[in-house]
Structure 1
């Protein structure tokens, strides 16, 4: 029984290996796609714009703290009241910085998730067009034949479409 099972496994492997070996696999460099495609550029610009807005809000809060700090050193105001306000504003500042970082990270993830969904749809079209069985994202290490590089064509496909923000 064990010999029969082993024989079936060997036959199964021998039948399947040629199919895997003959599979044509293309690849794309996602970092290049994100940097050079219109949708990638728009996304990076949107992220930069969001980051700038967050930085402005943080800067305004920081200016508020500086003003209160000056008030503490002046003799015109009740120091205890100003100090209490100052410590309260410091906590608000910390919360603002923390929430801004978290919000920006969430926004980035959502934007990149949307791009990856669009890329995946275009990869199906690209695979059919290039007559490949699979398309992988190029890792940093290893050898990948330039002949199977589909990055530029993917960028073209992405740039043909228009996308909602």
Structure 2
């Protein structure tokens, strides 16, 4: 399985090792930091309140980012997307808040070790989230800034996917 049964946010040791071997280096454009010195980042953000909503802990949704790149994505306005193209090559793209699309590295270690493309992890079934029961004046708002940010990023990724599919259909 890609995630630990007790904590679906954290990848298993096998999944984490696979992602680091596959990526080789930080996936942030222009960074040469080793993947083994990097954080593993959920490309589509993990939803802690509703894990089924998106952001699965799987090798297809994780990539290596140096600490600076991870913080840059988490607290900045960059959006990354990761997908497999028609040839099975893992593609990473970044979109800035200005709308510029920056392609990720042209290659990863799958190019040197093609059998890495054959490895897949199955996502274990997710347990329902534990409800938080808070009453009185300490009741948090039902919606927060982070939830809005994640919703905006999901909408942006969906729009990017539709745009990419439209371009591919026109070619």
Q: Fold conserved (TM > 0.5)?
A: no
Structure with the higher fraction of residues in strand conformation:
2
Q: Which has the larger radius of gyration?
A: 1
- TM normalised by structure 2 equals 0.21
Q: Say which structure, 1 or 2, has more relative contact order (CA 8 Å, 6+ apart).
A: 1
